[in-house]
Chain A
């Protein structure tokens, strides 16, 4: 905000943010435009007005709507995990061994194209299965905290994780940040649910790769995220209190880099949570000043 930002101007900007996160983009734009009238040279507010105009155009054209509390869960990650556990009854052939040693097998991610990933849509069900594309309910996908009790072959889990790591690398090489970050997140979630001895031997060497994927997905570190949904709604998107904490830090002026630095979380974790928020469309990104 500009040097001589007044409390009135700040209130207008803040109220605009509140409107925006509740999907009232026209009201948000109106507040930011009023703020700009108060201080026409204010670069921060000018940026907000530009952003607000773009959002209004998108909404008016029906191109972009923020997910609301009542939206169904669209994140592909839980569905992927659920699909993995569903193999218990139909031993699906999942390739084993390192990816580099064998022809690239058909994987879950191959069922997707990047635009689907960008939209966060995924087909539930194991590869090759005839399950129709559907969206699982929150109850369904939240079920497995651990894969321990499920009759999933440990080798299948390792193979799937390996494939995801390979997908992450390949997507990054192709400058496809969204699928790369998604593959990284999936691999991490599988690892977190895998009983001992776990997958540390696969995950640990890949952390740098995953971090690159999350960083690429977040884009310019000097860009400033703002809330695109109310914080209360994040529970419906499978996000946790750390995401809520980061959401509470968003003020339209704190950059991605500063958020990570001030998150109090390890850098990797902060990037991962921010990526999850972006994937869930819980945040929008303002360009850097």
Chain B
């Protein structure tokens, strides 16, 4: 049987893991019974690593040591505007890393962004392993369609740090379409409207005979469910301030409760028309004065508070469609992805814009992970998903800088990958013996306005007049979206090439070290769990023995089994109790056997006492 491959939707705010079981993609719930896990990592006061719900639940009260939405940072250079925008918006400190990348400081430890993502992937892996009852080492991970090569590579690095071989990176809308179209005949263009917790993306896919092609994609990395929550929190805070002249934002515990309650109310309002927000004892202003927050909010109020946010998503859809030259009438389906699409106002505006009822047949939180699991299964076992050929497109144009600082595109954006394109260039100066190949991605005709991916020099060219020596430049994009660029002297066959790695990625040795450290951390955590299990077992035995001791003393009083022996037994119990209290692994091991003997003896004495 081929190895199980899990599909992971590594989201900005929530992540989800699925596996194909038979012919059904199954989303796996975490220990709390939830099928999505917050993509939040924190370090507690005691230095313990917290991941998922527990980290989210303390994100306000421990804001400086809680990393969230790191997906907005992954694979981006420190100098990028997106990083600076995140820096201004998050309470956890960001610093420039040794390779011009981003580093996150939590308490006194510094983490790379892929490390933080790795902890989330590790958690998803653990959830899957617990469910499957076996080790999982391979995964397909999804990323937004607009992710560039550096971001994709950094996501793969995160997988490696988590001990996962990320066998394929696929685009989120592609995964959603894959799950939507799995097991049924779907042809034509579909729109994937993905409004998640932190980001919004819209993509147009063309599905033809089992081939999935992303034709256009766009979005806003700072628009999602959290913005809706924030509006609700603002409304509550303002109402409270008006009533009590107290600013709840001044108290982190109050704010944490408000955020939790706002998110819950928002979710509730997807199914009911009004809901109650009741937060007793939200704040006190003195020993004798406690305030309670109690408000009722209606669905229409929430819609009113957030209408501009929803309208922004529609505006992005409009621009994307225009850009792709597609009209709503060309679409055969609109697939909703992301928890926010449960909001009826979102569904209503999407329906109005696209001129059709959006598809509600797929679970918006789970559909991307399901698609990833289908792709994962297909990669190791073609029979798992027959007739499925998955094609993605490159989200940005790729090319090189040519004379005059112009950008020469070799691969246009939205070209289906894998792909390869070549073009022959000539020298621009007389006696030019080398050429510098500077690789960019972007849409501007000015090279410097695009994103630099890498550069290399091809030297040893024959001295000749300009325009005489020809150099063939070839771009290749693999199915994973990894870009390779080669330049070849057409006369001599001499070639130079680069594989474009993340512009500000980690080195091999750093990734290896982080993977080892992560592994060590997991081993230590498991060992601690084992000690705790043993401690609980010993504690139960001690409790039982201590309960039996008075009876034993009574039964043995005046028998040859002297006080010395009982003293000895009491010492064993004392040692055991001490080992339990100290959580001392060695001590627990030492007392286990004599304690068991003592308990067996006690049980025997009490039983024989009963018989007599």
A44 interface residue (CB < 8 Å to B) = yes
Separation of A9 and B33 alpha carbons in the complex (Å): 10
B283 at the interface (CB under 8 A from A): yes
Are A245 and B253 CB-contacts (below 8 A) given A263-B58, A266-B45, A288-B536?
yes
**Contact, CB under 8 Å: B32 / A232:** no
Contact with A along B450-466 (1 / 0, CB 8 A): 00000000000000000
**Which of B44, B48, B280, B288 is A231 in contact with, Cβ under 8 Å?**
B280
Is B284 in the interface zone, CB < 8 Å from A?
yes
With A222-B536, A261-B45, A263-B61 as given contacts, are A2 and B280 in contact (CB-CB < 8 Å)?
Answer: no
A41 interfacial by beta-carbon distance below 8 Å: no
Q: Beta-carbon contacts of A219-262 to B below 8 Å, as 1s and 0s?
A: 01010000000111011000011111100110101100010011
B interface size (C-beta, 8 A): 42
Q: Does B57 contact A (CB under 8 A)?
A: yes
Which of A5, A44, A267 has a CB less than 8 Å from the CB of B46?
Answer: A267
Q: How close is A264's CB to chain B, nearest CB, in angstroms?
A: 2
Which chain B residues numbered 39 to 70 have a C-beta less than 8 Å away from chain A?
A: 42, 44-46, 48, 50, 54-55, 57-58, 60-62
A3 to B581, CA, bound (A): 33
CA distance A266 to B48 in the complex (A): 13
A130 to B251, CA, bound (A): 45
* Chain A residues closer than 8 Å to B253, beta-carbon distance: 241-242, 245, 264
| CB <8 Å contact, A258 and B54 | yes
A261 touches B252 (CB 8 A): no
Q: Give complex CA distance A264, B62 in Å.
A: 5
* Distance (whole angstroms) from the CB of A251 to the closest CB of chain B: 8
Look across to chain B and name the residue whose beta carbon is closest to the beta carbon of A242.
B253
- With A249-B57, A264-B256: A241-B281 Cβ-Cβ less than 8 Å: yes
Question: Is B532 interfacial (CB-CB < 8 Å)?
Answer: yes
Distance between Cα atoms of A251 and B57 in the complex (Å): 11
Whether A149 sits at the interface, judged by CB under 8 Å, is no
Q: Are A264 and B60 in contact (CB under 8 A)?
A: yes
Contacts of B548 in A (CB 8 A): none
CB contacts (< 8 Å) of B539 on chain A: these are: 220
Q: Which residue of B lies closest to A44 (CB)?
A: B33
A222, A241, A249: the one within 8 Å of B290 (CB): A241
Q: CB < 8 Å: which of B29, B31, B280, B292 contacts A4?
A: B29
A175 at the interface (CB under 8 A from B): yes
B252: chain A residues at CB < 8 Å are 264
Instruction: Name the B residues within 8 Å of A5 (CB-CB).
Output: 29, 33-34
Counting chain B CB atoms within 10 Å of each CB, which of A2, A240, A245, A263 scores highest?
A: A245
Chain B min CB distance to A36 (Å): 14
A175 to B577, CA, bound (A): 10
Q: Is the CB of A232 within 8 A of B58?
A: no
Residue pair A248, B279 in contact (C-beta under 8 Å): yes
A60 adjacent to chain B (CB < 8 Å): no
Q: How far is the CB of A107 from chain B (nearest CB, A)?
A: 25
In the complex, chain B residues whose CB is within 8 Å of the CB of A3: 28-29, 33, 131
Check if A230 sits within 8 Å of B280, measured CB to CB.
yes
**Interface size bracket, A side:** 35 or more
Q: Which residue of A lies closest to B62 (CB)?
A: A264
A220 touches B536 (CB 8 A): yes
Task: Report if A265 contacts B (CB, 8 A).
Answer: yes
CA distance A267 to B55 in the complex (A): 16
Residues of A within 8 A of B31 (CB): 1, 253
* Complex: A243 Cα to B581 Cα, angstroms: 26
Within the complex, the shortest CB–CB distance from B84 to chain A, in Å, comes to 28
- Kindly identify which residue among A234, A243, A244, A267 contacts B45, using a CB–CB cutoff of 8 Å: A267
Is A116 an interface residue when CB atoms closer than 8 A count as contact? Answer: no
Are A261 and B44 also in contact (CB < 8 A) when A145-B287, A244-B281 are? yes
- The answer to the question of A91 belonging to the interface, with a C-beta cut-off of 8 Å to chain B, is no
Cβ contacts under 8 Å, A207 to chain B = none
State whether A2 and B61 are in contact (beta carbons under 8 Å apart), knowing that A241-B284, A245-B256, A261-B50 are contacts in the complex. no
Check: B254 CB closer than 8 A to any chain A CB.
yes
Task: Determine how close the nearest CB of chain B comes to the CB of A12; give it in whole angstroms.
Answer: 12
Cβ contact within 8 Å between B29 and A2 = yes
Complex Cα spacing A142 to B29, Å: 47
Question: Which chain A residues lie closer than 8 Å to B48 at the CB level?
Answer: 261
B282 interfacial contact with A, CB 8 Å: yes
A10, A232, A249, A267: the one contacting B292 at CB < 8 Å is A232
CB-defined contacts of A244 to chain B, threshold 8 Å = 280-282
Set A9, A258, A265: member contacting B61, Cβ < 8 A: A265
- Report the minimum CB–CB distance from A230 to chain B (whole Å): 7
| Measured CA separation A183–B50 after assembly (Å) | 33
Which B residues touch A235, using CB under 8 A?
Answer: 280-281, 290
Alpha-carbon distance between A264 and B280 when the two chains are bound, in angstroms? 19
Q: Is the CB of A231 within 8 A of B536?
A: no
Name the residue on B nearest A212 (C-beta): B581
Question: Which parts of B259-311 form the interface with A (CB within 8 Å)?
Answer: 260, 279-284, 287-288, 290, 292
- Indicate with 1 or 0, residue by residue over A32-67, a CB within 8 angstroms of chain B CB atoms: 000000000000100000000000000000000000
B61 touches A264 (CB 8 A): yes
- Specify which chain A residues have a CB less than 8 angstroms from the CB of B256 in the assembled complex: 245, 264
Please indicate the chain A residues that have their CB under 8 angstroms from the CB of B281 in the complex: 231-232, 234-235, 240-241, 243-244
Are A254 and B260 neighbours in the complex by a CB distance under 8 Å?
A: no
A residues within 8 A CB of B318? none
Q: Given B32, B60, B260, B280, which contacts A253 in the complex, CB threshold below 8 Å?
A: B32
Q: Is B230 an interface residue (CB 8 A)?
A: no
Which residues between 1 and 60 of chain B lie within 8 Å of chain A, taking CB atoms?
Answer: 28-29, 31-34, 42, 44-46, 48, 50, 54-55, 57-58, 60
Can you identify 22 A-B contacts, CB atoms within 8 angstroms? A1-B29, A3-B29, A3-B33, A3-B131, A5-B33, A145-B287, A216-B581, A230-B280, A235-B280, A241-B251, A241-B290, A244-B280, A245-B254, A245-B256, A253-B31, A254-B57, A258-B54, A261-B44, A262-B42, A262-B57, A264-B253, A288-B536
Residues of B within 8 A of A (CB): 28-29, 31-34, 42, 44-46, 48, 50, 54-55, 57-58, 60-62, 131, 251-254, 256-257, 260, 279-284, 287-288, 290, 292, 532, 536, 539, 577, 581
Beyond contacts A240-B281, A264-B60: 7 other A-B pairs, Cβ-Cβ < 8 A, are A216-B581, A220-B536, A241-B251, A241-B290, A242-B253, A254-B57, A263-B58
